[in-house]
Structure 1
Amino acid sequence: MPKLKAQLHIHTRQDPVDNIRHTERQKIDYAAKNGYDVMAITCHNVMIFNDDLKKYAEKKRILLIPGIEIGINRKHVLILNAGVEAQNIKSFADLRKYKEKNPKCMIIAVHPYFPGWVSLHKRFDENIDLFDAVEYSWFHSKRINRYNKKAIAAAEKHNLPILATSDNHLLRYFNNTYSFIEADKNIDSIFRAIKEKKVTFVSHDLTPWKMVCIVTEMWVRQLVKRFTLS
């Protein structure tokens, strides 16, 4: 069984929330140059996936999985193999109904314990039955990694797999964190392998100074987008 190099949490220029510089095709190109087999573009609250992008990725020998990062009361949740109707999810009750109607989707708790209102925190434990996997975040240093450690502990407690991603906003950090999935190159096999914990990952430590610089850059970019649109 091959080990597929996967990047399954990616934002692009069409994201309505974040100020992203690079387009979908630019990120597909970058993934291809860096040996990725599988990727998912997961913009906030909107489905970017379409047949043209799927075919473009196929030409680059990449399987593009439909995805979206939804906000439920501002709490971020990742859905892979999502359909356009996922854009209408506004509550955990909606998410539960969506999963019942779409059993082949995969729901991931992203950065569940990181500081801030976008993280799930107690909502993760309260809705644990909804989640198929837990994200290991790219945003850590050697000494500052308590939030990922808490996510790992929760995943072990609930017998859920860990999936590492770059939650990619800035292209230069695309390769900071990624997963290897022992599966055939199709969605069913990949999801089955994730649930069976046939996943390993690479995640490089950032320096504390680099973490500060990243947060500052993303904050400034958000301000620019907000004032540009106002």
Structure 2
Amino acid sequence: MSTWSSADIHLHTTASDGLYSPRQVVEWAAERTDLSVIAITDHNTMDGALEAAEIARDLPIELVLGMEIDSVDGHVLALWVREPVPSGMSALKTVDAIHEQGGIAIAAHPFAPKWWAKHGLCRGDERVYDAVPFDAFEIHNATPLLFHANLRARAYVKRNPGRFAVTGGSDAHILSAIGATRTLFPGRTAADLRRAIEEKTTRVDNTLFWLTRNARYLAHMPSIVRRERARRHADGHTP
């Protein structure tokens, strides 16, 4: 029987709106979790991912270079990209740009509530999901208050069998949230994870729901929102 491992492929650092440095995030993931693979996916920058990749070389964990891109249709996770993908394009053009680099494109937190739209979250327009060739769909995001959005994402994937691999990510902005939701895959390496996404054999584990963790996350939310607003202002977006 194949060994299954876990990955958290949606993590943020101080390079965007996370509250901890790339070093703190990588060292926590390597020393305090059983994750085999992580991806740093800061908003519209790869600075955190590139810094984290150097740190991960000396630790028992593999790191995938990534970023979370603000498309006009919502956020898109880009994994295995070599250079930043510009923000502000349509989801279709964003995914095309990711694929041009040989990367993997994932619909991030689809169906997030419209009242979160001011923070740049996806509007949940199914016409976008129908038309754009995402490689995977994030069906569980561990951010508090996205329970209903996660259910809608799972339902959409079920209505579209065979189209997407499924992924789960913590969307962690604090250390204790890392690994709260995982993408499970056969094997142990980042190459194995990529193969599983391409072959649509991934699974999602969201069993690490801890009330105290979510309470702690909510307590930090004002700081996260302030950093997000500052980031968007620096990127030239309307606050």
- TM-score, normalization by structure 2: 0.78
Task: Determine whether 1:150 maps to 2:152.
Answer: yes
Match of 2:108 in 1: 110
Give the Cα–Cα distance (whole angstroms) in 1 for the partners of residues 35 and 213 of structure 2.
Answer: 25
The answer for the alignment partner of 1:129 in structure 2 is: 132
- Cross-structure match for 2:24: 26
Identity of aligned residues (%): 23
Deviations along 1:90-147, one digit per CA (max 9) or x if unpaired, are: 2234324314523x31111111011122124116645543211111111358xx8322
Residues 206 and 32 (structure 1), Cα distance of their counterparts in 2 relative to 1, 3 Å cut = closer
- Further displaced range: 55-64 or 34-43: 55-64
Instruction: Please report how far the alpha carbon of residue 222 of structure 1 lies from its aligned counterpart in structure 2 after TM superposition.
Output: 2.9
Distance 1:217 1:95, change over 3 A: same
Contact conserved, 2:68 with 2:76, CA < 8 A, in 1? yes
Deviation at 1:180, TM superposition (A): 2.0
Q: Which runs of 5+ in 2 are unaligned?
A: 235-239
What pairs with 1:56-67 in structure 2 (closer than 5 Å)? 56-67=55-66
In structure 1, how many angstroms separate the alpha carbons of the residues matched to 2:77 and 2:130? 14
Distance (Å, rounded) in 1 between the aligned partners of 2:128 and 2:70: 17
> Would you say 1:176 and 2:180 are equivalent positions?
yes
How far is 1:30 from its partner? 0.8
Residue 23 to residue 3, structure 1, CA distance change in 2 (3 Å) = same
Aligned to 1:2: 3
Q: CA deviation at 1:211?
A: 5.1
Q: Would you say the 8 A contact 1:76–1:120 is kept in 2?
A: no
> 1:79 matched to which residue of 2?
78
* C-alpha contact (below 8 Å) 1:179/1:201 kept by paired residues: yes
Change (3 A) 1:55 1:150: same
Task: Call closer, same or farther: CA 1:79–1:224 in 2, change over 3 Å.
Answer: closer
Paired residue for 1:197, among 189, 196, 200? 200
| Match in the other structure for 1:11 | 12
Alignment match, 2:143: 139
Q: Closer, same or farther in 2 for the Cα pair 1:217/1:66, shift >3 Å?
A: same
Contact 1:14 1:43 (8 Å CA) reproduced: yes
Asked if structure 2 preserves the Cα contact closer than 8 Å seen for 1:133 and 1:155, the reply is: no
Counterpart in 1 of 2:237? none
Equivalent position SS for 2:142: coil
Structure 2 match to 1:90: 89
5+ residue gaps, structure 1, are none
Counterpart in 2 of 1:214?
217
User: Within 1, Cα distance between the matches of 2:178 and 2:136?
Assistant: 21
Question: Measured at CA, do residues 222 and 200 of structure 1 come closer, stay the same or move farther in structure 2, by a change above 3 Å?
Answer: same
| Deviation for aligned residue 1:216 | 5.3
RMSD: 3.0
Post-superposition CA distance 1:26-78 (Å, at most 9, x none): 1111111112211110000011232x632421321221111000001272111
Aligned partners of 1:190 and 1:97: how far apart in 2?
21
